[in-house]
Structure 1
């Protein structure tokens, strides 16, 4: 259920002149690990806690594209950053707003999956970059390292003042731009937001689109695409 205060803000946001497109730069950071006798002075944990990764979300009124920014290609492989990417479950994704479909680029083709997060919006609020945001949560299933199916809670802070149903990673579908997302204790936070009246072209790559099930079946059959 959406709180009455949130509804008022959502209705107000509908009167805002929609910009044609936008670009958001996010920064990802690891959760903090409690110090124990076993991990005291662990360099890898300290490096992970200090790791920062920049992403960008480009969007128009139809599609969005979320990807990692390569700010310094000379840095090469960074174990802490790669670990954080894995913990976030990062992948470059296109999102079709109308069809509510995510598309992951696999080189010669796109894997499509439905984006149907069942968000629970609360009245809890806070400001992020001077924007008033509201808290939303959803529960998702995942396969843990031990092979067991488990559940985790995803927390998002979205801004009704920015009425765009986009967000970082594969998370979308809220009545406002997601400015902060928490997954497994790791956070992705918006650092800069630029809106434009000119539409950014975000056409999906002209590649064969298949479902995850079709992809797995093709792999199983060892067929060529």
Structure 2
């Protein structure tokens, strides 16, 4: 870790804390996401043979772009935060009788509590709701000696390496075994360690950020994990209005390991011999 950078960040953090005063403060940050779609679009286009149909290919690309761009809200104080997607109704669009709809699944509300040292995430398996409860494990961020402005805030750079999990390795090994017997419709790329780049501002002295990212000496305003970008568009801070932060309560409490086991079992029971999930009405 860069010692000079750490001293600079701490100096900004102390200054920001003194400005906010000793009173408890609350805040809200708004984010929007942009999924990096090139690989996914190319694979889908190739498999369903759209290369010779420019109109259909255009509709697919537009639908995937639209599905990947979402808006989120993070409300926080110094101890806890709640992150959730903003739900909006889509306006009906006129077309020539042809339409393409794409949807990316994502977890529901995400709650972190630094005092209790736990996280609670809403998730579901084909409509059945669960609360995934896990102890907080602080990410091992590497502070980088680079700075930039995001809006009115001075930000510092940090990087995090997320190694390939045993779950990912096992899933890839199972895919290769099936691939030997019969080529799969959609390929799975060999999993690799993920490098996450974040920009945080000690001028907002909380250790939270969007999605699952936290643990830096300042609010995270931008994240890029190689597949998805999360960018902060607005921050509101106050020490007057107290915003109540409620942990999610809908669903059966379960660990992440148990949730993954149930999801795997349920998904396999609904797949045909090509690995395609069949929904029956």
TM-score, normalisation: structure 1: 0.77
Matched with 1:137 is 159
Does the CA contact (< 8 Å) of 1:91 and 1:169 recur in 2? no
Matched with 1:178 is 220
- C-alpha distance in structure 2 between counterparts of 1:214 and 1:132, whole Å: 41
Q: Which runs of 5+ in 2 are unaligned?
A: 94-98, 173-186, 267-281
CA deviation string 1:168-206 (max 9, x = no partner):
111111111111111224211111111122221113245
Q: Which moved more, 1:197-206 or 1:67-76?
A: 67-76
Where does 1:7-156 land on structure 2 (aligned, <5 Å)?
7-17=10-20, 20-31=25-36, 33=38, 42-43=57-58, 44-49=60-65, 51-73=68-90, 79-80=101-102, 82-83=103-104, 91-106=108-123, 109-113=130-134, 114-142=136-164, 143=168, 146=188, 149-156=191-198
Does the CA contact (< 8 Å) of 1:115 and 1:172 recur in 2? no
- CA, structure 1 residues 132+66, in 2 after alignment: closer, same or farther (shift >3 Å)? same
- CA, structure 1 residues 64+53, in 2 after alignment: closer, same or farther (shift >3 Å)? same
Q: Which moved more, 1:24-33 or 1:192-201?
A: 24-33
Matched with 2:176 is none
- C-alpha distance in structure 2 between counterparts of 1:212 and 1:147, whole Å: 23
- C-alpha distance in structure 2 between counterparts of 1:153 and 1:221, whole Å: 30
- C-alpha distance in structure 2 between counterparts of 1:68 and 1:78, whole Å: 23
Q: CA RMSD in A?
A: 3.6
Match 1:191 to one of 211, 218, 233: 233
Helix, strand or coil at the partner of 2:161: strand
Say which structure is richer in strand: 1
Matched with 2:255 is 211
Matched with 1:201 is 244
TM-score, normalisation: structure 2: 0.64
Q: Which moved more, 1:68-77 or 1:13-22?
A: 68-77
**Structure possessing the higher radius of gyration over alpha carbons:** 2
Does the CA contact (< 8 Å) of 1:6 and 1:123 recur in 2? no
Q: Which moved more, 1:155-164 or 1:22-31?
A: 22-31
Say which structure is richer in helix: 2
- CA, structure 1 residues 219+21, in 2 after alignment: closer, same or farther (shift >3 Å)? same
Q: Which runs of 5+ in 1 are unaligned?
A: none
Does the CA contact (< 8 Å) of 1:141 and 1:149 recur in 2? no
Match 1:161 to one of 194, 203, 210: 203
